[in-house]
Amino acid sequence: MNLDWDFIVRSLPLYGAAMWLTVKLAVIAILLSTLLGLLFSLVLFNKVRGISGLILAYVELSRNTPLLVQLFFLYYGLPKIGLHLSEFTCAIVGLTFLGGSYMTEAFRSGIEAVGKSQLESGLSIGLGKLQLARYIILPQALAIGIPSLGANAIFLLKETSIVGAIALMDLMNVAKDLIGMHYKTAESLLLLVLAYLVLVLPLSVLLSWLERKVRYAEFGD
């Protein structure tokens, strides 16, 4: 198979711009999802009446509906009731809505893995709920949940490939446009694969390294 290297070189700026958009979407969505998941998991842990039920309903709704459907609702549905969001804002809200539920479950599993004896010991020495969360629960929950949190971060990064459905020029949209205009399928898909590899592989390596560091700090091996 002969590749058109001149076309590949000419297309690099387009993929570069799309990669930058993907990075912005992923970073913002991962940060917001992590904060949302942490907050919701603490509410569930403390079994706040009324709110806990709403959070559980949100988790089920988010995890059992496709991101594409969520984006269509935000982009095409909300304007019907007078609420207009930009394409970028819709993408952030959709990714955060999806990622927040997965992060909530990841944090909750880490929190529930903390031994009850440690919580009782903390209460017995006079720690309040906030101190208990800060010094005992969260450090261990983060250490335990790092594999799940990392997997969710990578999942959100790859899910940015859906946002082209609402007219954002992400990597997938750029590849489809180039294929449609120039019929350079092999070249466009090669650049698409390489772009995602450049984005995902360093994050995967970083998270694997962090997981090993945490495991070594916890077990010494």
pLDDT at 64: 93
Q: Answer whether residue 118 shows pLDDT above 90.
A: no
Rounded mean pLDDT of 27-49? 90
Q: Answer whether residue 29 shows pLDDT above 60.
A: yes
pLDDT at 109: 83
Average pLDDT, the chain: 87
The pLDDT confidence band at residue 103, using thresholds 50, 70 and 90, is very high
Residue type, 120: E
Q: What percent of the chain has pLDDT over 70?
A: 91
Q: Answer whether residue 97 shows pLDDT above 90.
A: yes
Q: What percent of the chain has pLDDT over 90?
A: 56
- Tokens in use for 209? 């390294």
Burial bucket for residue 187 (CB in 10 Å: 0-12, 13-18, 19+): buried
- Tokens in use for 170? 């992400």
Rounded mean pLDDT of 52-73? 93
| Global confidence as pTM | 0.87
Inter-residue contact 102 to 157 (CB < 8 Å):
no
- The CATH topology of domain 5-216 is MetI-like fold (1.10.3720)
Q: HEC states along the chain?
A: CCCCHHHHHHHHHHHHHHHHHHHHHHHHHHHHHHHHHHHHHHHHHCCCCCHHHHHHHHHHHHHCCCHHHHHHHHHHHHHHHCCCCCHHHHHHHHHHHHHHHHHHHHHHHHHHCCCHHHHHHHHHCCCCHHHHHHHHHHHHHHHHHHHHHHHHHHHHHHHHHHHHHHCCCCHHHHHHHHHHHHCCHHHHHHHHHHHHHHHHHHHHHHHHHHHHHHHHHHHCC
pLDDT at 145: 78
Closest CA to 129 of 113, 145, 147, 111: 111
